[in-house]
Structure 1
Amino acid sequence: MTGFRARASLAAGLLLVAGAVHAEPQAKGRVPVLQGLLDCRKVAADAARLACYDAAAGAMDQAEAKGDVVVVDREQARTVRHQGFGFNLPSLAIFDRGETPEDIRRVALKVLAASRDGNGKWTVTVEGGQVWRQIDTGDFTVTPREGMTANIRQAMMGSYIMSIGGHAGVRVHRDR
């Protein structure tokens, strides 16, 4: 009879796993595959709980391998927020879980390339591939060149000011 109980308990656990892995998102907005893993804690029988964890871990591994779930650590989240400087991306808030995000108001990046368009306005590409375009009629005090430092700071009304080498700057907008 004990063999029957163990098999029945295991079968019940597997049914719980199947339901947990395909469950709807829970209260905290967790994705179903993660919630399925967490729900395994509620399974009382040891063998069934282990079977639940094994199945849920397998489902989590598959979801991550397919790109359905992406796992990032805190440092990766900080890097993404820094790379997003200059863009109005409210969706970056998903990287703020578990910490108060730093308030990024200025960055200092190396100039990779700089050129003027037909209207005499600058386009400056900086490290990380960011492209900033001048939106005012001013001019840099010094000509931006590869290797120089571009200091970009947040200004009023959602705009940004870029200065080169600590000299007076121009108002810019991030294109990429």
Structure 2
Amino acid sequence: MSLVSGLAALAVVAASPGQDAAAPQQRPEVVERLTACRAVADNAARLACYDAATAALDTAQQQGELVVIDRAAVNQTRRDLFGFDLPTLPRLFGNAQTQELDSIETTLQSASQAGEGRWVFRLADGSSWRQIDSDPVRFQNRAGQEVRVRKASLGSFLLTVGNSRAVRVRRQ
């Protein structure tokens, strides 16, 4: 796969420092220069344009001014951040081709009671969820139990361990 076609298969997520994060539709200048090379009619000039543009793109990526990730990495990042209130997340990752998450499924690593008898659930994916309702919770507190966290109304989340009743939680 050529560099140009490989770049076309990747998603540009973060732009150079001068880019406005609120406008993700705007491509970084370094990418615009690369795509502008297609319009060059003369073969030698077009090749020189591509060579210069790909060198600039490579430099921008190596210096951290540009981050290029594939769709699988975008979906994994969305999963890792599930439950956090990140208002800019849809602008960074929101397009029809990325996976929208309504729930995650993993296993219980541990659970312990915190203040006021509320539970803190630590999951195998590294996330930690704190009970925010005051209802009693009955579940098998054993590592490896299946856990599902799903979106609920008004921005809240419900966590279920095995076949237990759902517990209203917030990501920590």
**So what's the TM-score if we normalise by structure 1?**
0.76
1:57-72 → structure 2 map (5 Å cutoff): 57-72=54-69
Q: Distance in 1 between matches of 2:76 and 2:44?
A: 41
Would the aligned equivalents of 1:140 and 1:164 in 2 still touch at CA under 8 Å?
no
SS of equivalent residue, structure 1 residue 119: helix
Following superposition, the deviation at residue 105 of structure 1 comes to 1.9
Q: Distance in 2 between matches of 1:160 and 1:37?
A: 43
Q: 1:49 aligns with which of 46, 49, 53?
A: 46
Q: Distance in 2 between matches of 1:118 and 1:98?
A: 42
Distance 1:97 1:169, change over 3 A: closer
Following superposition, the deviation at residue 143 of structure 1 comes to 4.0
Following superposition, the deviation at residue 67 of structure 1 comes to 1.8
Following superposition, the deviation at residue 160 of structure 1 comes to 1.0
In percent, how many aligned pairs have the same letter? 37
Would the aligned equivalents of 1:109 and 1:150 in 2 still touch at CA under 8 Å?
yes
Distance 1:98 1:169, change over 3 A: closer
Distance 1:98 1:137, change over 3 A: closer
**Deviation larger for 80-89 or 55-64:** 80-89
1:64-103 → structure 2 map (5 Å cutoff): 64-93=61-90, 94-97=92-95, 99=97, 101-103=98-100
Structure with a larger share of its residues in helix? 1
RMSD: 2.2
CA deviation profile, 1:58-94 (whole Å, cap 9, x unmatched): 1111111122111111211221222222123242232
Would the aligned equivalents of 1:106 and 1:153 in 2 still touch at CA under 8 Å?
yes
Q: 1:148 aligns with which of 127, 145, 157?
A: 145
SS of equivalent residue, structure 1 residue 128: coil
Following superposition, the deviation at residue 98 of structure 1 comes to 5.4
Any gaps of 5 or more consecutive residues in structure 1?
1-23
Q: Distance in 1 between matches of 2:130 and 2:141?
A: 13
Q: Distance in 2 between matches of 1:104 and 1:68?
A: 28
Q: 2:127 aligns with which of 120, 126, 130?
A: 130
Q: Distance in 2 between matches of 1:43 and 1:105?
A: 45
SS of equivalent residue, structure 2 residue 62: helix
Corresponding residue of 1:6: none
Letter in 1 for 2:79: H
Following superposition, the deviation at residue 103 of structure 1 comes to 3.8
**So what's the TM-score if we normalise by structure 2?**
0.78
How many positions carry a matched residue from both structures?
Answer: 150
